[in-house]
Amino acid sequence: MKRTILALTCLSAVSLAALAADNEKTKPDNTATNERDRSGETQTSGDQSNSSADLKITQAIRQALMKDSELSTTAKNVKIITNNGHVTLRGPVKTAQEKAKIDQLAKSAAAAPILTINWTLKDQIN
Q: What is the pTM of this model?
A: 0.63
Q: What percent of the chain has pLDDT over 70?
A: 56
CA distance 114 to 43: 13
Under 8 Å between Cβ of 3 and 48: no
Q: Which of 80, 78, 81 is nearest to 48 (CA)?
A: 81
Task: Compare 49 and 23 and report the one with higher pLDDT.
Answer: 49
Is the pLDDT at 123 greater than 50? The verdict is no
Under 8 Å between Cβ of 91 and 119: yes
Q: What is the reported pLDDT for 61?
A: 92
Q: Which of 76, 86, 85 is nearest to 117 (CA)?
A: 86
Q: Which of 94, 86, 84, 83 is nearest to 119 (CA)?
A: 94
Is the pLDDT at 37 greater than 70? The verdict is no
What's the pLDDT band for 15 if we cut at 50, 70, 90? Answer: low
